[in-house]
Structure 1
Amino acid sequence: GRGNGIKTNIVNLVDVAKHLRVPTEYPLKFMGVEFGSLTKYKESGGEISAIINGSIPYEEMKTCLDKFIEKYILCTGCSYPEMVLRVKKNVVCGKCDSCGQRSELDNLHKLAKYITQ
């Protein structure tokens, strides 16, 4: 692991996810899979926390978020960040709000299994 009992709280992940137009759990779960760490998302009393077990440096987190955006948010046709995720027949797909392209996204990543549940 990356430190016994150490946790990283991503304080702005809710805002980031809102701008990417995905549930907060998606980028959090993606990072958890990439870092091999457990994640926890909870809302209680107006407080929201998105936590990854371990000490994750900012630069690594940023690189990982960029990878998520590349795989699930950027259009495969026009490269604009306009993909809207959809699940069709247990397959994660996307439709670009900019150019209209429909694409099957990375369904081999463990995040796809989480999304299709």
Structure 2
Amino acid sequence: LIAIDCTPTMMLNIDPDQSDVYYRYKMPPLACKVEGRGNGIKTVILNIREVADSLSRPAEILVKSMSTDLGVAMKLENDRWSLAGDHVKADPLKLQNRLYEFIRRGVLCRYKGCRNPETTYLIEKRKLLM
């Protein structure tokens, strides 16, 4: 979907469809590391808290969204979130693209093309509003 050169100090636009370098809303790229072997292999998302803070969403929601999209288990261990399996080797941008899908669905305002990421959730009469 999107090719990204992930240098440590680089910040990405929260809206993946924005190419403006002066776009106001930025986030760090996901930093992932694969640990373990065989059946115990897992992908640890090292900076999920920083990414979640930049999106004003809880880290648990981001990881749960990726876990559901990929159909794998998620785990919190020693304040580190991980997903079962290797999600970096075959496609290094797989998780970043899943994050962008979450942003499109659950962060950016969808009202008449607004696309502002300064949204909050509101649950009213058992319906989720943004």
Q: Deviations over 1:68-109 (max 9, x none)?
A: 000000001211112112222332211xxxxxxxxxxxxxxx
More strand by share: 1
> Percent identity among equivalent residues?
31
* Mapped partners of 2:50, 2:105: distance in 1: 19
1:63 CA drift (Å): 0.5
Matched, 1:73 2:107: yes
Contiguous gaps of at least 5 residues in structure 1: 95-117
Give the aligned partner of residue 92 of structure 1. 128
How many residues are aligned here? 88
Give the aligned partner of residue 102 of structure 1. none
CA RMSD of superposed structures (Å)? 1.4
The answer to whether the Cα contact below 8 Å between 1:22 and 1:85 also exists between their aligned partners in 2 is: no
TM-score calculated relative to the size of structure 2? 0.63
Match of 2:66 among 14, 24, 31: 31
More helix by share: 1
Q: Deviations over 1:11-60 (max 9, x none)?
A: 00011011111111001000000110000124x5xxx2111001112300
Give the aligned partner of residue 110 of structure 1. none
TM-score calculated relative to the size of structure 1? 0.69
1:5 CA drift (Å): 1.5
Give the aligned partner of residue 97 of structure 1. none
Give the aligned partner of residue 101 of structure 1. none
